Structure 1
Amino acid sequence: MFVTSDLSAIAVGRLVPVKRFDVLIQAWKNIPIHISIVGDGPERLRLRSLVADLGLQSRVEFLGERSDVQELFANHQLLVATSEREGFGYVFLEALQTNLVVVSTATGIAADLLPQDYLIDSLDADTVSLTVERTLKEFERAKQDFELVWAKARELTVNKMVTDTLATYQNTFSRWNN
């Protein structure tokens, strides 16, 4: 067992089958920290029942749909994402910009940004549990591993992307005018 009383996790997303919150909840049987699940959707009742069936009400909390996700990130240290597929993943990027350690399936931007040790290589409860537990056991190392990832994520703001795109267009148009 490892000391984790000062750590808590968060998972954010629409409660739909593709996000695989069921796998996340099953994995949490072996994980001794609290997790907040943010989001709503058609799977809400089934997932709440799963939490009750597994006796995890004291560690798994449903917060519903929220508009203050950035503030919630500030109160957690770990984001866990178990989606089967993901696009760009703004929630993921926002978590990194808030200096959260992230454990995720290798989907969307996670596959490109995360160190290999924090990618879930098989979407089953045991693998998710092992990946999260390993991260928690070596959390100080995880924070060091994420220093460069956090810096890169801070470069990927909407304002920076707009500024870079605008600069590219201006550069292109200035060459056409010369």
Structure 2
Amino acid sequence: MAERNSIAIFLTSMTIGGAERVALDLSSGLAHRGYDVDLVLVDASGELLTDVPDEVTVINLGADRVATSLLPLRRYLNAHDPDVLYSMMTEPNLIAIAAHRLSRTGTRLVISEHNVLSHRLSDNKDRLVRFGASIGYPLADHAVAVSKGVRRELLDRTLLKETAVSMIYNPVRVEQIRENASKPVQHEWFLDESTEVILAGGRHEPQKGFNTLLASFARLNGDHRRLVLFGSGPETEALREQAAALGIQERVYFPGFIEDPYRYMGAADVFVLSSTHEGFGLVLIEAMACGCPVVSTDCRSGPSEILSGGTYGRLVPVGDDRALTTAIEETLRDPHDAETLYERATDFDVSVAIASYDELFQNEIKRANER
């Protein structure tokens, strides 16, 4: 019997987020393809831990933050010597590069970037991390970008060579999402056919541009329109205050964290992504898989790729609440066909991404064996 290849996937935790869901799908998909998979976490915490399949081994480095996980990760590499260490997100990437250089293993290191590096400019720590990425990333054996825009940024802002960077879209469980989307939502707004519901959600932070969305919603004509803004974060209270100041608090619902947002997407009239920047924009694909029409800001770097420049959903300039209002109005009046949206979502199905990662990892393992 051929020896099973081993993959270690390194990230911060399994707190709900886009990268964490990708890690869950990737670890599960690779395990089903016959890999021995370790999910190596800086801190083994988070709501998604319970969803990790039994065939995936969770490794808790027990560090209090990413920076202090260097030595524990090095010890893990020396003890387990996986064929490939796959790291996710900028700061874990830098720690993975350092631990890999300090270890005594033949492990191949593949890092992945899930956002544009240019967004890291808010403080000195961000600038230091971006500088570290610019000079450190070429020390990895290979890099993965989750969109064409992120790949362009990696090549522009780091010393990585063209041949050292692959582009693989994040995996989406399209069939499972579509099944969940058929479940009913027990909320009066969704049960009333005369009510049009605009849906948005994610972590309540400046990147998501929910302040622009609220301003845009306040401009919409008609008392039959409602906005559901799920999620939470540091801006939640400020967003509630903004809704009150705009006089729309009775027409905006903040449900907090929703464990299964897909039933909401399946019942909504339009989903809006209002971000200032994205690495990919996974939620747009999830909404389309539910047959929900979408509107998005034309932010860097994923939405335009996902929507094919506006073919599958209207794109508006970042921060332009008037243009966003117009796009929402037009979409409510003339929505894209649900089946067309679903078919587009299948282009990003998890099976496509897993096959691409399998090919990439096999090539890296082959290179290691040729040395």
- Could you state the TM-score of these two structures normalised by the residue count of structure 2? 0.41
Q: What residue in structure 2 maps to residue 113 of structure 1?
A: 306
Once the two structures are TM-superposed, the CA of residue 170 in structure 1 deviates from its matched residue by: 6.8
Once the two structures are TM-superposed, the CA of residue 169 in structure 1 deviates from its matched residue by: 6.7
Unaligned segments of structure 1, at least 5 residues:
174-178
Report the secondary structure of 1:35's partner residue.
strand
Report the secondary structure of 2:254's partner residue.
strand
Judging changes above 3 Å, is the alpha-carbon distance between structure 1 residues 104 and 47 closer, same or farther for their aligned structure 2 residues? same
Q: What residue in structure 2 maps to residue 157 of structure 1?
A: 349
Structure 2 residue 203 is the aligned partner of structure 1 residue 10 = no
User: For each residue in 1:27-65, what CA deviation from the matched residue of structure 2 results, as whole angstroms up to 9, or x when unmatched?
Assistant: 111223111101101111110011111111222111112
Report the secondary structure of 1:58's partner residue.
helix
Report the secondary structure of 1:67's partner residue.
coil
Report the secondary structure of 1:23's partner residue.
helix
Structure 2 residue 227 is the aligned partner of structure 1 residue 35 = yes
Report the secondary structure of 2:240's partner residue.
helix
Structure 2 residue 275 is the aligned partner of structure 1 residue 79 = no
Structure 2 residue 255 is the aligned partner of structure 1 residue 59 = no
Judging changes above 3 Å, is the alpha-carbon distance between structure 1 residues 104 and 156 closer, same or farther for their aligned structure 2 residues? same
- Take 2:219 and 2:318, find their aligned partners in 1: how far apart are those partners? 17
- Take 2:227 and 2:233, find their aligned partners in 1: how far apart are those partners? 18
Alignment partner for residue 242 of structure 2, among 10, 34, 50? 50
Once the two structures are TM-superposed, the CA of residue 148 in structure 1 deviates from its matched residue by: 3.7
Q: What residue in structure 2 maps to residue 90 of structure 1?
A: 282
Letter of the aligned partner of 2:333 in structure 1? K
Report the secondary structure of 1:153's partner residue.
helix
- Take 2:264 and 2:212, find their aligned partners in 1: how far apart are those partners? 22
Q: Is the 8 A contact 1:27 1:126 kept in 2?
A: yes
Alignment of 1:96-107 (within 5 A): 96-107=288-299
Once the two structures are TM-superposed, the CA of residue 88 in structure 1 deviates from its matched residue by: 1.6
User: For each residue in 1:142-177, what CA deviation from the matched residue of structure 2 results, as whole angstroms up to 9, or x when unmatched?
Assistant: 33xx6544312123122332135436777997xxxx
Unaligned segments of structure 2, at least 5 residues:
1-192, 367-371
Alignment partner for residue 209 of structure 2, among 20, 23, 37? 20
Alignment of 1:124-143 (within 5 A): 124-139=320-335, 142-143=336-337
- Take 1:158 and 1:23, find their aligned partners in 2: how far apart are those partners? 32
Judging changes above 3 Å, is the alpha-carbon distance between structure 1 residues 132 and 67 closer, same or farther for their aligned structure 2 residues? same
- Take 2:210 and 2:267, find their aligned partners in 1: how far apart are those partners? 21
- Could you state the TM-score of these two structures normalised by the residue count of structure 1? 0.81
Provide the aligned C-alpha RMSD in A.
Answer: 2.6
Letter of the aligned partner of 1:111 in structure 2? S
Q: Which deviates more, 125-134 or 114-123?
A: 114-123
Letter of the aligned partner of 1:133 in structure 2? E
- Take 2:213 and 2:194, find their aligned partners in 1: how far apart are those partners? 20
Judging changes above 3 Å, is the alpha-carbon distance between structure 1 residues 154 and 77 closer, same or farther for their aligned structure 2 residues? farther
- Take 1:30 and 1:22, find their aligned partners in 2: how far apart are those partners? 13
Judging changes above 3 Å, is the alpha-carbon distance between structure 1 residues 138 and 152 closer, same or farther for their aligned structure 2 residues? closer
Once the two structures are TM-superposed, the CA of residue 23 in structure 1 deviates from its matched residue by: 0.7
- Take 2:328 and 2:279, find their aligned partners in 1: how far apart are those partners? 23
Report the secondary structure of 1:112's partner residue.
helix
Report the secondary structure of 1:8's partner residue.
strand
Of Structure 1 and Structure 2, the greater helix share is in 1
Regions of 4+ moved over 4 Å: 167-173
- Take 1:41 and 1:35, find their aligned partners in 2: how far apart are those partners? 18
Letter of the aligned partner of 1:17 in structure 2? P
Q: Is the 8 A contact 1:113 1:149 kept in 2?
A: no
